[in-house]
Structure 1
Amino acid sequence: MLVPAIAAPAFGQEAAEIDAEVTYETVVVTAQRREQSLQDVPVAVSAFTAEQLKNSSIETIQDLALRTPGLTVGAVDPIQNNFSLRGIGTAAGISQNAGGDGSVVVFVDGVYAGRGGTPDLDVLDLERVEVLRGPQGTLFGKNAIGGLIQFVSRKPSDTPSFFAEGTVGNFSRYNVTLRGNVPLSDKVFLSGGLAHKQRDGFEFNETTGNDVNDQDVTTARLAARFLPSENLDIVLRADGTWQDQAGNPRDNNCDATFNGGVHCVGVNPDPRIVNAYIDGQIFRQINSLSGELNWTTDFGTLTSLTALREVKYKFRTPFFSNPINPPTQIESTDFGREEATQFSQELRFAFEAMNDRLQGQVGLYYLDEDIDRLQGQIQDFPVPAQQGTAIYPQSVNAKSFAVFGQFDYAVTDTLTATVGARMTWEEKEGRFAGMKVSGPGLPPPLGSLDGYDVLASESWDALTPRFALNWQASDTVMLYASAAKGYKSGGFQGLSGTAAGASTPYDPEFAWGYELGAKTEWLNRRLTLNAALFKTDYEDLQISQLVPLCCVVVSNAAKAEIQGFEVEFVGRLTDNLRLDGSYSWLDTEFVEYRIPGTDYTGNELPRSPSGKYNIGAQYEAPIGDFRLLARVDYSWVDDAFFEASNVAAQLWPEHDNLDARLAVTLPDDRWQVSLWGKNLTDELVPTYVTYFGPFRQTLVPYSPPRTYGLSLSYTM
């Protein structure tokens, strides 16, 4: 399911007759690893063009989620996002350790981005962002059990261009973005970009007197394209991200319903004021190199994609502090560092045969990851026996190899059958340790940690097929039905209280997704309306459960059923006024989930709101020699739970969001001034909730408050 963009008629053009067909911009996507028109793809996919991203002030993955049906994004901190797509997601306890993977994956220009978070949208010079919903186990494979997000940048071209933008806003925000493209010859082109973002923190640490949850990030990108012959296209890319800023200490939510006693004495009730004994830190550095080669032959096109990605990451998060009321001081801190290196190689061959009735592609994929992570916990309670520090070093090597293929056969001129499969072999081996470096650290986890250092390894394999039929009922109506299997790799529990827990792997999880969809255009193409009805059978769920005062325990403890409905639309009411939006309904249930002493059968899956919608209105018109664009986006998300336990203390409350943008382009079509605002209703929205039942503690980080600013850009 998808929403195409509509190209606005040139200003000065006479108004079209009401019965005239509207001209559409053809949005090309690679949801099936080959270029296709958006409306021709029998896959549930939302696509956002560069123009849409700019007009809607989409800067982060959270902004994208507000406008994408079925997608929600939680965040343990500003870097570590937790995606959920159609009810399938990954708990923080799994995605944060070296032996675990996510259920919704990110690709940047075709390269799997396994660690390090999502990229900065500004510097990429994006052509579009695609969100594919449902299992994508055949063409994309590893860990795309819930779906995936693709960032696709523009390739260097023979057209010179330059873009510069400066932004100022509240919280002392300033951004600078520079991008350019230059042809060095008729066969060599170069493009690059540089961006810096900086602002003060959204929260204030009352203990240290400093702002926290600030931003200081710089990104850079360089790409070169070579066309040695008319049949050979080579693109080399390099990019880097450098981020070093204060942490985001947790707010100790002292609502009387969930908290009380000594833990809340003296804590400031303002959720934007924290009482942490330190500010914390977030540091991230990402460097990546990739080379893409496309060689067109008489038999088809051979694509080679080689990539190297290195990530360094450090964090220090005071997740519970009450240091302003001695002698009842209580402090708990999570800290760690990680270095990850990833090498990947993919070969694909796409071809057509039988007078173009058969379109197919086959391929090989190899991934090698080395992850070294050290995570620790500091516990400083008012009683000396309850003070201590523990560390958990982890070192993991993960290898994955796959063979895949997919074939589309035109049974008739209007009916196409698709069949595909991927066979994956994976192996993970690692060294896991846990030790106290000071103590005794009672109660657990420090008190129960006797110290261990173990080696462990495991291998898995999976076959993930896909079957589909799509019927082109008319020029403007396409119906499809599909069944696809997704697979998420098994792993190891990095933060374990025992040697047995650290050395025991958890198994992969699997999901079969069934979908009926329609992609349609109406009213002489003035209205695009797409819908999908889906059901997912989800097995061997990897569940992470926080055991209070102990640890996070991961197990394959559950089965679930998911069903839902999604609709997206875009329409032009007049030549100047456009409306677009989406709605999703989701019903999730654990049909089997029992752990010792607890039965969660019948509960909802985490981060799975039953209802979610957004609507945007955009008006664009000339005012004399100037051009005006005004846009408003409103979204609403139903309540959900952050954890499978479904306790009220971990409720993600229903919330809405209002964004607006007003842009004026000067007569030369080069300068543009934009006034924008985000979260204009100043909604207070948790991004994650940690609940310690025995002490009735609810610890929460929050999404940004109301922000606004002014941007000035120049395009050449």
Structure 2
Amino acid sequence: MSLASLSLLLLASTAPAPAGVLRDDPVPAVSADEEQAKPAQQSSGGEIVVTARRREEKVQDVPIAISVIGGSTIENSGNTNLNRLQTALPAVQFYSSNPRNSAINIRGLGAPFGLTNDGIEQGVGFYLDQVYIGRIGASTFDFVDVERVEVLRGPQGTLYGKNTTAGAINITTRAPSFTPEAKIEFGIGSYDQITAKASVSGPLSDNVALRISSALTSREGTIDNVRTGEDLHKQRTSSFRGQLLWKVNEDIDLTFAGDWNLQNPLCCVQYYARVGATQRPLARQYAALATALGYAPPSTDPFDRKTDLDAEINSRQEIGGASLVANWNLGPATLTSVSAWRYWDWQPKNDRDFIGLPITTVSQNPSQQKQFSQELRLASNGDGRLDYTLGAFFFHQTINTQGSQVQGPAASRWLLSGADALNPNVLNGLTSTNTINFDNTSFALFGKLNWEPVDGFHVAPGLRLNYDKKSGYYDSVVSIRNAQFNFTATADNVAALLAAFPNPSAGRTTFLNQTNTLAPQRYSPRFSDWNVSGDITVAYDFTPDIHAYATYARSFKSGGINLSGLPLNSTNTGVDLSTQTVKPEKVNHFEIGLKTQFLDRRLTFNAAGFWTEITDYQATVNNNAINVIRGYLANAGKVRSRGFEWDASFRPSRAANVYFNGAYTDAKYVDFKNAPCPPELSGGTALSVDSSGNLSGTPSAPGTPGGNSRPYCNISGQVLPGISKWSLSWGGEVRQPVGDGDVYLGYDGSWRSKFSSNPSQSAYTWIDAYSLSNVRLGWRRADFNIYGWVRNVFDKQYFELLSVQSGSTGLIVGQPGDPRTYGLTVSKSF
């Protein structure tokens, strides 16, 4: 128990009990039957209660672009994690090449596209029962016993903190109940899928209630590794959650919670998708290299779902934590304390060359995160002319990463040119061992007002003062041990090792090839900064069911430090220490919205238009620095995202409901002159740039073998990666009474237009538009539900991601989405 929470408890034991009774369970103002009938995404549909502004409010009264998905809808639709849920949320994008390399974006903004860098934070805040989750990788768990998911679009920096420049996702689990209840669920499906879930809740005494929930999921993989005989992209999850609610008296309650989640799906592998032309010499592009090494992929059709990856695959992660939420009703206001400790243990193994050749035989970055957070909030009670929320927030996070990369006997031929390319020993066994540490401390004071000077007119200003302090440590030691080479290079001795070779000499060239492939370096970046963010919203209630609002927000995302290696300086004598840190993102956001309900609230239509500009946008670059394997962070000048969205639902009768939601998003780089070049403009002779910005030669046309390559590209005006211009979701459900229950048929569809899957737009990495359809047919009553389901009904073949193999060989690898799956689920409540 934190000091703040303990203080609340001690004070509460002697405080008089103000008037007011806390509810046993947060209950939306709709019946249980209506909750079962809600569409897969809903931001209306009756008086649904949310906590988007850190207080309970009807969703239609909240002047924020917000989508709400109920727990029963999540269970019935099979959208049991963020990756699946995004199909019901047109403005949300979730990408994951593995759990650590995951990103949540809203309206195309949030995190840079590419591999994760420990020193950068996300732009979409993720909250579980009011607890901020510091890494998106720790948000990839399956939902268990969830009451609702709230998705807040647009900057939420006042109440939700510094790193919510694109929005926030707020998950609320079901609370302990003083009415005994239990539920079990069992399901089977294709690919030998088995799911089992159970929850039980009830009183332990007159003022103490307990809820326990658990879930197991097992499914065989959808991708066949023909080399090992193992199937990949499995589902292997186990989870447990316990909550204890203690009502000290009428005005004070404490909720103790703990959760644990274990996953090892052998997931997210990428393999041969297609080949493009680069500016490497033709003999060093993919086709020639594969021929020289006698290699052919098991299939050139990625939807045969066959690969031959030769490195060990692992994606084990363990997620867990404990929290204490204390509420004290003081009469005019409620004081809330949220204390939490969480951890995330990531144990990966990857095949980073993506093919069945021993090029990179080991590539992994096991990470362990621990975080502690403490939040105090004072929120006014009642429906007066002036409501307020005031608070303070403290957060401390550590991340320890033990990286390693090992090159194999095919690496010399694949990565090098000249005589060294023909000598496997030059890179065989070359090993980089990285020690990476990160320490992050943040403190904030915040406040939000809601003033109603006249009936129906609301003014809601907010302000947040934030302090960040970050420090890191990066140390890469490079070694090789084989029949020809034996050395260890560190940041301290690499210059002395190089000096032992005459200049020029073959030995010097070989040593540079080795240390440029994996570079020894050490540095300790530091960053600290104060920031002030704020917003103001004006809203007007034309009628009880028609509301309009306009918002301006000035927000920021915390500055970062580079913890994936740095590029060399201009003289190639050491790392460029000026690239250790990246500046905070600064956001200007404008939004207008309309929330409406008609026909006795059976028809809901909400719409929002937005314009967001971010200066000093944090992006991944490489600048042809071959010694930076994973890229590093830099600030792009400016990006812009603008568009409009709508959520519409209609319930003509109890027997049917339909919904249709959509988003149009125009997201572009406004100013990004030092971006990484796409593969068709990479791999050739790197041109240099003088102090005036003049190139040392003429760049070659895209895909010119042996051409001249720019050191970086100006991609100003290009679209941001990962975001479709149009994204739609639609569906509904019809029901017919049969016996003492209902037969029902549900459908959920989604479509998104094409999008770029590379930080810089490339002809080879566009993912075509695709549509997905999911159906379910079943029978249910209040305490029982049985239904069959089919996901991806038409077996659509599509990619979740396309990536470029490092080294500009021209190989494009992909991560396919799941094929058609089907199954049967039965649940029973007691």
Question: What is the TM-score of this pair, normalised by structure 2?
Answer: 0.80
Residues 554 and 166 (structure 1 numbering): CA distance in 2 closer, same or farther, change over 3 Å? same
Q: Does 1:345 find its partner at 2:374?
A: yes
Q: Does 1:517 find its partner at 2:593?
A: yes
Report the Cα distance in structure 2 between the residues aligned to 1:443 and 1:5, rounded to whole angstroms.
Answer: 68
Which stretch of the first structure deviates more once superposed, 268-277 or 360-369?
Answer: 268-277
Report the Cα distance in structure 2 between the residues aligned to 1:54 and 1:334, rounded to whole angstroms.
Answer: 36
Residues 197 and 204 (structure 1 numbering): CA distance in 2 closer, same or farther, change over 3 Å? same
Q: How does 1:443-522 map to 2 (within 5 A)?
A: 446-447=515-516, 449-498=518-567, 499-501=575-577, 504-522=580-598
- What CA deviation, in whole Å up to 9, does each residue of 1:457-497 have, x standing for no partner? 11012111010100000121000001112221111221114
| 1:17 alignment partner in structure 2 | none
Report if aligned partners of 2:341, 2:371 keep a CA contact under 8 Å in 1. yes
Q: Does 1:269 find its partner at 2:345?
A: no
Report the Cα distance in structure 2 between the residues aligned to 1:161 and 1:517, rounded to whole angstroms.
Answer: 40
| Matched residue SS, 2:60 | helix
Q: Does 1:535 find its partner at 2:611?
A: yes
Report if aligned partners of 1:168, 1:174 keep a CA contact under 8 Å in 2. yes
| 1:19 alignment partner in structure 2 | none
Residues 538 and 318 (structure 1 numbering): CA distance in 2 closer, same or farther, change over 3 Å? same
Report the Cα distance in structure 2 between the residues aligned to 1:577 and 1:553, rounded to whole angstroms.
Answer: 52
| 1:680 alignment partner in structure 2 | 793
Report the Cα distance in structure 2 between the residues aligned to 1:553 and 1:442, rounded to whole angstroms.
Answer: 24
Shift of 1:574: 2.9
Shift of 1:348: 0.3
Q: Which residue identity does 1:436 align to in structure 2?
A: V
Shift of 1:8: 8.2
Which stretch of the first structure deviates more once superposed, 674-683 or 285-294?
Answer: 674-683
Q: Which residue identity does 1:524 align to in structure 2?
A: D
Shift of 1:249: 3.1
| Matched residue SS, 1:246 | coil
C-alpha RMSD of the superposition: 2.4
Among candidates 632, 652, 660, match of residue 775 of structure 2: 660
Report if aligned partners of 1:212, 1:279 keep a CA contact under 8 Å in 2. no
Residues 502 and 67 (structure 1 numbering): CA distance in 2 closer, same or farther, change over 3 Å? farther
| 2:47 alignment partner in structure 1 | 26
Q: Does 1:85 find its partner at 2:99?
A: no
Report the Cα distance in structure 2 between the residues aligned to 1:407 and 1:85, rounded to whole angstroms.
Answer: 26
| Matched residue SS, 2:801 | coil
Q: How does 1:685-704 map to 2 (within 5 A)?
A: 685-692=798-805, 694-704=808-818
Among candidates 245, 248, 252, match of residue 232 of structure 1: 252
Shift of 1:448: 5.0
Shift of 1:333: 4.2
| 2:495 alignment partner in structure 1 | none
Shift of 1:501: 5.0
Report the Cα distance in structure 2 between the residues aligned to 1:10 and 1:234, rounded to whole angstroms.
Answer: 30
Report the Cα distance in structure 2 between the residues aligned to 1:201 and 1:505, rounded to whole angstroms.
Answer: 40
Report if aligned partners of 2:256, 2:325 keep a CA contact under 8 Å in 1. yes
Report the Cα distance in structure 1 between the residues aligned to 2:131 and 2:296, rounded to whole angstroms.
Answer: 49
Shift of 1:704: 1.7
Report if aligned partners of 1:167, 1:176 keep a CA contact under 8 Å in 2. yes
Among candidates 349, 368, 373, match of residue 396 of structure 2: 368
Report if aligned partners of 2:555, 2:587 keep a CA contact under 8 Å in 1. yes
Residues 10 and 618 (structure 1 numbering): CA distance in 2 closer, same or farther, change over 3 Å? closer
Report the Cα distance in structure 2 between the residues aligned to 1:248 and 1:518, rounded to whole angstroms.
Answer: 39
Report if aligned partners of 1:392, 1:494 keep a CA contact under 8 Å in 2. no
Report if aligned partners of 1:603, 1:644 keep a CA contact under 8 Å in 2. no
Q: Which residue identity does 1:72 align to in structure 2?
A: Q
Residues 442 and 140 (structure 1 numbering): CA distance in 2 closer, same or farther, change over 3 Å? farther
Report the Cα distance in structure 1 between the residues aligned to 2:452 and 2:355, rounded to whole angstroms.
Answer: 67
| Matched residue SS, 1:649 | coil
Residues 656 and 41 (structure 1 numbering): CA distance in 2 closer, same or farther, change over 3 Å? same
Residues 68 and 246 (structure 1 numbering): CA distance in 2 closer, same or farther, change over 3 Å? closer
Structure 2 gap segments, 5+ residues each: 1-27, 36-43, 279-285, 414-423, 486-509, 568-574, 675-710
Q: How does 1:355-434 map to 2 (within 5 A)?
A: 356-380=384-408, 381=411, 382=413, 383-387=424-428, 388-434=430-476
Which stretch of the first structure deviates more once superposed, 313-322 or 291-300?
Answer: 313-322
- What CA deviation, in whole Å up to 9, does each residue of 1:135-194 have, x standing for no partner? 111101121111111110121121111011111111111111111101112210000111
Q: Which residue identity does 2:296 align to in structure 1?
A: G
Q: Does 1:603 find its partner at 2:718?
A: yes
Larger proportion of helix: 2
| Matched residue SS, 1:63 | helix
Q: How does 1:429-444 map to 2 (within 5 A)?
A: 429-438=471-480
Residues 515 and 586 (structure 1 numbering): CA distance in 2 closer, same or farther, change over 3 Å? same
- What CA deviation, in whole Å up to 9, does each residue of 1:410-467 have, x standing for no partner? 0111101011100100000121112213378988785354522222211012111010
- What CA deviation, in whole Å up to 9, does each residue of 1:335-373 have, x standing for no partner? 1211111000000001259x8110001100000001101
Report if aligned partners of 2:587, 2:614 keep a CA contact under 8 Å in 1. yes
Report if aligned partners of 1:247, 1:316 keep a CA contact under 8 Å in 2. no
Residues 485 and 685 (structure 1 numbering): CA distance in 2 closer, same or farther, change over 3 Å? farther
Shift of 1:334: 2.2
Report the Cα distance in structure 1 between the residues aligned to 2:758 and 2:745, rounded to whole angstroms.
Answer: 39
Q: Which residue identity does 2:560 align to in structure 1?
A: G
Residues 33 and 444 (structure 1 numbering): CA distance in 2 closer, same or farther, change over 3 Å? farther
Q: Which residue identity does 1:44 align to in structure 2?
A: A
Q: Which residue identity does 2:425 align to in structure 1?
A: P
How many residues are matched?
693
Report the Cα distance in structure 1 between the residues aligned to 2:355 and 2:74, rounded to whole angstroms.
Answer: 41
Report if aligned partners of 1:660, 1:676 keep a CA contact under 8 Å in 2. yes
| 1:185 alignment partner in structure 2 | 205
- What CA deviation, in whole Å up to 9, does each residue of 1:67-90 have, x standing for no partner? 113111111125642122112031
Q: Which residue identity does 2:71 align to in structure 1?
A: A
Residues 661 and 79 (structure 1 numbering): CA distance in 2 closer, same or farther, change over 3 Å? farther
Report if aligned partners of 1:122, 1:195 keep a CA contact under 8 Å in 2. no
Q: Does 1:72 find its partner at 2:98?
A: no
Report the Cα distance in structure 1 between the residues aligned to 2:720 and 2:152, rounded to whole angstroms.
Answer: 20
Q: How does 1:236-247 map to 2 (within 5 A)?
A: 236-247=256-267
Report the Cα distance in structure 2 between the residues aligned to 1:414 and 1:238, rounded to whole angstroms.
Answer: 42
Q: How does 1:33-182 map to 2 (within 5 A)?
A: 33-78=54-99, 80-91=101-112, 93=114, 96-115=116-135, 116-118=137-139, 120-123=141-144, 125-182=145-202
Among candidates 641, 646, 649, match of residue 756 of structure 2: 641
Which stretch of the first structure deviates more once superposed, 137-146 or 591-600?
Answer: 591-600
Question: What is the TM-score of this pair, normalised by structure 1?
Answer: 0.92
Report the Cα distance in structure 1 between the residues aligned to 2:361 and 2:110, rounded to whole angstroms.
Answer: 27
Report if aligned partners of 2:472, 2:563 keep a CA contact under 8 Å in 1. no
Which structure's CA Rg is the greater one? 2
Among candidates 642, 648, 652, match of residue 563 of structure 1: 642
Report the Cα distance in structure 2 between the residues aligned to 1:673 and 1:442, rounded to whole angstroms.
Answer: 66
Report the Cα distance in structure 2 between the residues aligned to 1:10 and 1:407, rounded to whole angstroms.
Answer: 33
Report if aligned partners of 1:434, 1:497 keep a CA contact under 8 Å in 2. no
Shift of 1:288: 0.4
Q: Which residue identity does 2:333 align to in structure 1?
A: G
Shift of 1:715: 0.8
Q: Does 1:553 find its partner at 2:632?
A: yes
| 1:299 alignment partner in structure 2 | 332
Report the Cα distance in structure 2 between the residues aligned to 1:691 and 1:364, rounded to whole angstroms.
Answer: 44
Q: How does 1:191-206 map to 2 (within 5 A)?
A: 191-206=211-226
Which stretch of the first structure deviates more once superposed, 598-607 or 548-557?
Answer: 548-557
| Matched residue SS, 2:761 | coil
| 1:18 alignment partner in structure 2 | none
